[in-house]
Amino acid sequence: MLKNTFVKKTGFAFALAAMVFSVLPAGDLFAGDKVKVDQKITVYKKVSGVSGSLNSIGSDTMNNLMTLWGEGFAKYYPNVRLQVEGKGSSTAPPALIAGTSQFGPMSRKMKDKEIDEFEKAFGYKPTAMGTALDALAVYVHKDNPIESLSLQQVDAIFSKTRAGGLNDDIATWGDLGVKGVWTGRRISLYGRNSASGTYGYFKKHALFKGDYKDTVKEQPGSASVVQGVTKDNAGIGYSGIGYITSGVRAVPLSKKADGSAYSVDMANVMTGQYPLARFLYLYVNKEPDQPLQPLVREFLKFIFSQEGQHVVVKDGYLPLPYEVVQKELNKLEAGTY
């Protein structure tokens, strides 16, 4: 998904980024090497006359990110107020349509139906800003010896329809070839509730649009998926890479059953080899050919600045490459889309 849309739209940017990152040592990024923000991204410049309050309603995955951006933005504009509500990506479009929020953070793209409803209300489409990169990780308990999984296996673990193509259900760790005491252990599944964009994304890309098993324990937040897997040594769950703790391990994934598996690190996400990478979007209501409200525009500029992307790193997600930042910033100009 990421590779498709991403490479199509910013082919050159991506190839470049891939080149830059392939030079770096391909160590496990989340165990020590720090992700760096592209130095070419400009530092945020304060403008005068910005004040007021902002509302953000949407994704809970991006809850912290929005809060941290709000804190960072407040350093420049001490009395700008940003209120963040995060109950799931599906709550973003209705709030944008009702005008109760200026920002709709979503961890997935808007569905056609949601875009239609927005268009019906305003006569134009909402503007999607890709603000950060996230890789969805499949977590297992830290003692679990499993080396890698293919998406087809992930599908057979989580789905009852097995649209990925495997014939047999995978119910125990032994079915995945894990030896010793693990052979007989039943796999215990942790997932998200259906309002979450993570739920939708995982269903579409890891389950090949199939259906989840009824035994998936649906959790109210990404952190509780990780907590569940930490406490349950036969557990497996999915969440954004930002939620990793020392109690769990992110399993390397491969696209095809016989393909090579890639661990979740910046290099693999950038080249599109890690199969479950996605953009974290911020939707705004921007009338074509009209400038954005100054407050909203400045907030977005802050997100796409050196400081804003540092916040992304701080929250455990992956920052955008310079070229993508430029492309997103262009969307802010009046008249462009």
Partner 1 sequence: MTQFWKSGNPFVWLTGAALAASVLMIVGLVLLILFKGLSQFWPSTLAELHLQDGSKVMGEIWDREEIPDAEPGADNASQYRLRLKVANRDLYSLDFRWIDESDIQQRLSPPPAIAIERQEWGNFYGYFVGLKKDGETVAADLVDGWPTIEASLDEMRKLRERIKEIEKSDIGDINHDLERLRLGLRKITLASDTTTAETRQLIADKRAQMADLQAEYLDKEKALADFYGSSRKIVLSMVSVDGHTIDIPVYDIVRIWKPNELSVFGKCGIYLDKLWEFVTGEPRESNTEGGIFPAIFGTVMLVIIMSIAVVPLGVLAAVYLREYARQGVWVRAIRIAVNNLAGVPSIVYGVFGLGFFIYGLGGTLDQLFFSEALPTPTFGTGGIFWASLTLALLTVPVVIVATEEGLAAVPREIREGSLALSATKFETLWRVVLPSAMPGILTGLILAVARAAGEVAPLMITGVVKLAPALPLDGTFPFLHLERKFMHLGFHIYDVGFQSPNVEAAIPMVYSTTLLLLVIVVFLNLFAIYVRNRLREKLAYSAF
Task: Confirm or reject binding of residue 142 to partner 1 (CB under 8 A).
Answer: yes
**Nearest 10 degrees: Cα torsion 154, 160, 166, 168:** 110
**199 lies in the site for partner 1, by CB under 8 A:** no
Using CB under 8 A as the binding rule, whether residue 100 contacts partner 1 is answered as yes
152 binds partner 1 (CB under 8 A): no
For residues 50 and 304, give the distance between their C-alpha atoms in angstroms, rounded to a whole number. 18
11, 177, 180, 291: which one binds partner 1 (CB under 8 A) = 180
- Crossing angle of helices 2-9 and 11-23, rounded to 10°: 110
CB 87 within 8 A of CB 195: yes
Q: Where are the beta strands (DSSP E) in 206-259?
A: 217-219, 235-240, 248-250, 253-254
**Among the listed residues 68, 115, 166, 234, the single contact to partner 1 using CB under 8 A:** 68
User: Shortest gap between Cβ of 56 and partner 1 (angstroms)?
Assistant: 9
Stretch that binds partner 1, among 64-72, 106-114, 156-164, 206-214 (CB under 8 A): 64-72
Of 82, 136, 207, 269, the one binding partner 1 (CB under 8 A) is: 82
**CB of residue 127 vs partner 1: minimum separation in angstroms?**
16
* Alpha helices by DSSP H, the chain: 2-9, 11-23, 63-76, 92-98, 112-122, 151-158, 197-205, 222-231, 266-271, 294-303, 306-314, 322-330
How far is the C-alpha of 272 from the C-alpha of 291, rounded, in Å? Answer: 34
Per-residue contact track with partner 1, 230 to 259, x per CB under 8 A? ---x------x-xxxxxx------------
For partner 1, the closer of residues 101 and 152 by Cβ is 101
| Sequence-ordered list of residues with C-beta below 8 angstroms from that of 40, at least 6 positions apart, any chain | 322
Q: Given candidates 10, 14, 58, 63, which one binds partner 1 under the rule CB under 8 A?
A: 63
Judge whether 89 and 199 are in contact, CB under 8 Å. Answer: no
DSSP-based three-state secondary structure for 233: coil
- Residue number, 227 or 271, with CB nearest to partner 1: 227
Whose tokens are 């098993």? That residue is 213
Q: Which of 127, 131, 150, 222 binds partner 1 (CB under 8 A)?
A: 222
The CB-of-208 to partner 1 minimum distance in angstroms stands at: 28
Q: Does 181 help bind partner 1 (rule: CB under 8 A)?
A: yes
Of 28-36, 167-175, 201-209, 252-260, the segment contacting partner 1 by CB under 8 A is 28-36
Q: Length of the chain in residues, anyone?
A: 337
Q: How far is the CB of 222 from partner 1 (least distance, A)?
A: 7
Part in contact with partner 1 (CB under 8 A); list of ranges 96-104, 125-133, 319-327, 329-337: 96-104
* Cα gap 195→87, rounded to integer Å: 8
Q: Phi/psi at 218 (nearest 5 deg)?
A: -80, 125
85 part of the interface to partner 1, by CB under 8 A: yes
Interface segment toward partner 1; rule CB under 8 A; list 57-65, 203-211, 262-270, 319-327:
57-65
- The verdict on 4 binding partner 1 (CB under 8 A) reads no
Minimum CB distance to partner 1 smaller for 156 or for 269: 269
How many residues make contact with partner 1 (CB under 8 A)?
56
Q: Which of 62, 73, 54, 23 is nearest to 296 (CA)?
A: 54
Distance in angstroms (rounded) separating the CA atoms of residues 318 and 77: 26
Contact residues toward partner 1 (CB under 8 A) are: 30-32, 34, 46, 48-49, 51-53, 55, 60, 63-64, 67-68, 70-71, 74, 78-87, 98-100, 102, 142-143, 180-181, 219-224, 226-227, 233, 240, 242-247, 314-316
